[in-house]
């Protein structure tokens, strides 16, 4: 077995080991993919495209539908009540993969036995020959007292729905007759975390047409985004950050630099560096970590307890076990920079993972993964976005339209409208 030579750039001194792990017996070639988000669905799709038989591909997810997680900040789409079905998910039994014959198993993966090559869910023990870990990430609360219990989040479908319902209730609550103030006070929403998720959520809540979404007269809303210990939109190009800051301020969002949360109790948030606040709603957008299942495996872990992978996206020291997307930790073999935890990176990893799975099965060439950023776009409310493509920063409705077209294209692929 040989590795493809790099297609561009040179390997840095910090390159992870290029040596292929020991030989591996693929037996029947049954591929079990754990997690049907961007990484898992795209890997299955790429295996099919490469002619791998659908009957040998199995996909497991705890949810009945795949989640378009990049859109969970649009909580207005779930406003109104539990019966509202937001367009953030699509049932696995209707995705193009299952129509093509990929077998979907619904169930939470409770245990993975790497030695026995077996995965356990509440209803079955599923054997595998090759495994794909694409379980995504979950919110990280860093042990901050009361934070998990007293906050909302938009990292999961359940979290986004819960936030939408609480917000709907607050916005439509009749005024308190004992409140003597002439002006109805706004619903105060405090968002901790000034990364892309916190910023997109803040701008959406500040600008969503709540009156028409809820079909009622609604209270005004006041949104504050705290950058937390990291700078506002840390890691993104400076010009994009400046422009996004201006746009979200225009959307009515107050951006506060700092605000390191040290404890949360019902209705009150305290900080290391700011006076306490008492918002109506507190949303935690402060960080993510890999699910406990990853840490339960005998594998090397990287930052945020993600599984460390080789440049071939194989879990270090475990031939035939692949990890990609948010639950994998990897330094780009060409420039040593961490591959980001984004849908974009997951979708770029999937074809390489599929090719390397087939390399394990067929003894063909392996491919090294190299992340090529295609740009970043931050939604800033009212259908607008601020985007950086290469060195260019653009904003407004055009950027917003491009962002939503990228999402629509992905929806179409999942549904099978696009090949």
Positions touching ligand FAD (CB under 6 A) are 35-40, 60-63, 67, 69-70, 72-73, 108-109, 134-136, 154-155, 196-197, 200, 291, 293, 325-326, 341-344, 346
How far, in Å, CA of 148 to CA of 279, rounded? Answer: 16
Our CB check for ligand FAD shows the closer of 26 and 325 to be 325
Among candidate residues 77, 48, 18, the one with its CA nearest the CA of residue 357: 48
The residue sitting closest to ligand FAD, measured at its beta carbon, is 37
How far, in Å, CA of 20 to CA of 131, rounded? Answer: 17
The total of other beta-carbon atoms located within 10 Å of residue 113's CB is 12
- Least separation in angstroms between CB 379 and ligand FAD: 8
How far, in Å, CA of 213 to CA of 225, rounded? Answer: 23
- Least separation in angstroms between CB 365 and ligand FAD: 25
Our CB check for ligand FAD shows the closer of 154 and 358 to be 154
- Least separation in angstroms between CB 416 and ligand FAD: 18
How does DSSP classify residue 133? E
Cα distance from N-terminal residue to C-terminal residue, the chain: 31
Our CB check for ligand FAD shows the closer of 129 and 326 to be 326
Our CB check for ligand FAD shows the closer of 165 and 341 to be 341
- Least separation in angstroms between CB 310 and ligand FAD: 18
* HSE-CB of 357 using CA atoms within 13 angstroms: 34
Our CB check for ligand FAD shows the closer of 43 and 168 to be 43
How far, in Å, CA of 177 to CA of 228, rounded? Answer: 36
How far, in Å, CA of 256 to CA of 190, rounded? Answer: 10
- Least separation in angstroms between CB 352 and ligand FAD: 14
Among candidate residues 260, 268, 364, 351, the one with its CA nearest the CA of residue 313: 351
The total of other beta-carbon atoms located within 10 Å of residue 169's CB is 13
- Least separation in angstroms between CB 403 and ligand FAD: 7
Our CB check for ligand FAD shows the closer of 48 and 293 to be 293
């Amino acid at each position: 077995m040989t590795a493809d030579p790099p297609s561009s750039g040179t390997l840095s001194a910090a390159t992870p080991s290029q040596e292929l792990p020991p030989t591996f017996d693929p037996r029947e070639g049954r591929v079990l993919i754990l997690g049907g988000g961007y990484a898992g669905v795209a890997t299955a799709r790429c295996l099919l495209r490469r002619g791998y038989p659908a009957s040998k591909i199995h996909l497991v997810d705890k949810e009945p539908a795949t989640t378009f997680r990049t859109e969970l900040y649009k909580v207005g789409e779930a406003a109104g009540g539990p019966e509202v079905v937001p367009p953030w998910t699509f049932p696995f039994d209707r995705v193009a993969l299952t129509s093509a014959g990929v077998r979907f198993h619904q169930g939470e993966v409770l245990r993975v036995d790497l030695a026995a090559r077996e995965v356990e869910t509440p209803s079955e023990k599923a054997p595998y020959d090759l495994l794909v870990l694409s379980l995504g990430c979950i919110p990280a609360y860093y042990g901050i007292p009361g934070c998990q219990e007293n906050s909302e989040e938009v990292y999961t479908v359940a979290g986004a729905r819960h936030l939408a319902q609480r917000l709907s209730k607050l916005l439509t609550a009749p005024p308190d007759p004992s409140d003597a103030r002439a002006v109805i006070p706004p619903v105060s929403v405090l968002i901790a975390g000034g990364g892309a998720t916190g910023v997109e959520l803040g701008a959406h809540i500040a600008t969503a047409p709540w009156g028409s979404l809820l079909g009622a007269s609604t209270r005004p809303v006041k949104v504050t985004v705290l950058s937390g210990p990291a700078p506002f939109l840390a890691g993104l190009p400076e010009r994009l950050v400046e422009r996004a800051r201006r746009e979200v301020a225009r959307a009515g969002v107050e951006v506060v630099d700092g605000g390191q949360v040290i404890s949360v109790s019902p209705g009150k948030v305290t900080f290391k560096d700011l006076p306490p606040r008492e918002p109506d709603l507190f949303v935690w957008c402060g960080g993510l970590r890999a699910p406990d299942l990853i840490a339960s495996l005998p594998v090397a872990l990287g930052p945020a307890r993600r599984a460390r992978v080789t440049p071939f996206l194989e879990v270090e020291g475990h031939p035939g076990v692949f990890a990609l997307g948010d639950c994998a930790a990897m330094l780009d073999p060409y420039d040593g920079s961490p591959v980001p935890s984004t849908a974009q990176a997951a979708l770029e990893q999937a074809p390489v993972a599929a090719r390397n799975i087939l390399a394990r099965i067929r003894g063909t060439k392996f491919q090294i993964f190299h992340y090529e950023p295609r740009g970043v776009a931050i939604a800033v409310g009212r259908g607008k976005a601020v985007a950086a493509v290469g060195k260019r920063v653009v904003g407004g409705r055009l950027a917003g339209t491009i962002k939503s077209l990228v999402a629509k294209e992905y929806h179409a692929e999942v549904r099978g409208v696009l090949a």
